[in-house]
Amino acid sequence: MAKMDFTDSEIQRYARHIILKDIGIEGQLKLLNSKVLIIGAGGLGSPAALYLAAAGVGTIGIADGDEVDLSNLQRQIIHTTNDIGIAKTKSAKQKMEALNPDINIITYDEFLDAANILDIVKEYDFVIDGADNFATKFLINDACVLANVAFSHGGILRFVAQTMTIVPHESACYACVFDSPPPPNSVPTCSQAGVLGTVAGVLGSLQATEAVKYITCTGELLTDKLLIADMNSMNFNKVKFQKNLQCRVCGENGIKHLSDYEQRRCEV
């Protein structure tokens, strides 16, 4: 049943949202009644999961099939040295529950693929793409288009981050902009090229901001625009795109079912 009012501790916890024009009482109730899925409990998923838990998103799903590794900790701030070797979903859930015990956290301790993603995605209001490889990024796009669920795409490499919000069938989808995964070895992976940890923190926080704005119907979403943020020069640029009517995913003759893309994993 939808939540209609606040407990005394919720008023204290969310006071700065409740007094905030454009979020307010209604916006906070929307957050408490919302469901967001975070795919990837890594560099992007870490800040997104923490901020969305703090914001009181009522149900947060978090999907990742990996375990915490020492080399993750330079940027994946939801995990600690003590978590090395345990499932990332379990580690993330512990931190989110410690931050906000009032929310419901659902873990999916598996990598998502064409066989399982659609049933999971369709349970949520918004999805955050914190995946570390092009195959999963395109699969998330396809699943969200089929399930008609809005999502935030995000990608990082070296000092550069890019993000775009997709409202399926209304705005340009990831495939309208990029069509399909780049050929193998045409784009360096994070493990080849490296990534600044804080770049992940900035982008995951931007993605969480888009989730909050979408849920609360606030502000202007980053739809039909790709934000490219070069944090070495601090140049933030938005490139405009339009929905492609012939898009192979969301166009007139778009996809009707899911299939996996060739997987090349890269640690975000």
Catalytic positions, written as ranges: 190
Query: Minimum CB separation from other proteins for residue 103, in Å?
Result: 19
- The residues binding other proteins (CB under 8 A) are 5-6, 11-12, 14-16, 18-19, 21, 24-25
Q: For the CA atoms of 44, 45, 49, 52, what is the dihedral angle to 10 degrees?
A: 50
Query: Minimum CB separation from other proteins for residue 104, in Å?
Result: 23
Residue 107, both tokens: 């873990």
Measured distance CA(41)–CA(47) in Å, rounded: 9
Residue 69, both tokens: 């590794």
Residue 22, both tokens: 């454009």
Measured distance CA(152)–CA(165) in Å, rounded: 4
Nearer to other proteins, 21 or 257 (CB): 21
Query: Minimum CB separation from other proteins for residue 8, in Å?
Result: 9
Residue 55, both tokens: 């914001």
Q: Please state, as a whole number, how many other Cβ atoms lie within 10 Å of the Cβ of residue 232.
A: 10
Q: Which residues contact 140 (CB under 8 A, 6 or more apart)?
A: 39, 112, 117, 121, 127, 129, 131, 151, 153, 174
Nearer to other proteins, 5 or 220 (CB): 5
Nearer to other proteins, 15 or 193 (CB): 15
Which DSSP state fits 255? -
Query: Minimum CB separation from other proteins for residue 211, in Å?
Result: 22
Nearer to other proteins, 19 or 115 (CB): 19
